[in-house]
Amino acid sequence: MNGCPLNCIWCCNPEGLFRSQVIMYKESKCVCCGNCIKRCPHGAVSITSEGKLSFNRLFCDVCQTHECLDTCYHGGIELIGKIYTPDQLMRIFQRDRQFWGPGGGVTFSGGEPLIQHAFVLEMLKRCKKAYLHTCVETTSCLSTDHYMTLMQYVDWVFTDLKHMDSEKHRELTGVGNALILKNIETLARQANWDGFIVPRIPIIPDLNDSDGNIGATADFVKSIGLEVINVLPFHRFGESKYRQIGKFYRFAEQKPPLTEKMQHIKEVVENRGLVCFIGSDTPF
């Protein structure tokens, strides 16, 4: 789901930072026919001296009419983001649930799905009424009242802990971590909630992978009564998306953490008496 209160400098889904639909330009599919240039009412599309299309994102990122899309016959311009009603989504869920298997269900992700809290609350209620297992992938960065109201209808929560130092967290994501930690702790200590929380640490080399930060994160998780941490190694899978939305990707040369480094992080966590899973190698 679109929209996010954080702006992580390594974000692998930058199109999800927008709270509306956004145009992505795929240069490999473009034949530079010029149709979009003629059709754009804002003069936001042009051809550079190198013969490539250029989009003025000051106009494109706030455009509501997207006339250029109707003239692109090769898939060079694509509108990312679709608008659904609760009824439409539920029809999709009910159609597909037969293929999920006994452990399947619905996962709301983003961006930050809970930023659209009214819509997600309606969907969660409908899912529970239809006996659908529910999960959210969240930053836990929203008002505690909204957070706790939504969580009444959630079975599994995957929530990020990007850095334990609030100022460093602000440098990396644009916001401090006080509200995030408060929400996670409030949920973990909720006596009448029987869901399952999996804190996750995205491991970004040299930014949050120190023993001190990993240890502090594990200490926090243990102090609020949780038992599991999932560490996720950095990857560059979202690199092409930055080019497609006209943004610079500062991690283009960053390599993923070595296997030995991830194993060391796992040991730091487990030395605190917790269970640690690396990447997708989990029972969940």
In terms of CATH, what superfamily is 86-278?
Aldolase class I (3.20.20.70)
pLDDT(76) > 90: yes
CA angle 197, 15, 195 (to 5 degrees): 10
Where residue 146 falls among pLDDT bands split at 50, 70, 90? very high
Percentage of the chain exceeding pLDDT 70: 100
Query: Tell me: the pLDDT tens digits for 89-132?
Result: 999 999 999 999 888 999 999 999 999 999 999 999 999 999 99
CATH of 22-80, one of 3.90.10.10, 3.30.70.20, 3.60.15.10, 3.40.50.300: 3.30.70.20
> Minimal CA–CA distance to 254: which of 238, 277, 268, 241?
238
DSSP assignment of 116-184 = GHHHHHHHHHHHHHTT--EEEEE---S-HHHHHHHHTT-SEEEEE---SSHHHHHHHHSS-SHHHHHHH
Would you tell me how many other CB atoms lie within 10 Å of the CB of residue 105?
16
Would you tell me how many other CB atoms lie within 10 Å of the CB of residue 58?
9
Query: Tell me: the pLDDT tens digits for 6-51?
Result: 999 999 999 999 988 999 999 999 988 999 999 999 999 999 888 8
pLDDT average, residue stretch 136-164? 98
pTM, two decimals, is 0.93
Residue 52 confidence (pLDDT): 86
Query: Tell me: the pLDDT tens digits for 163-188?
Result: 999 999 999 999 999 999 999 999 99
- Domain spans of the chain? 22-80, 86-278
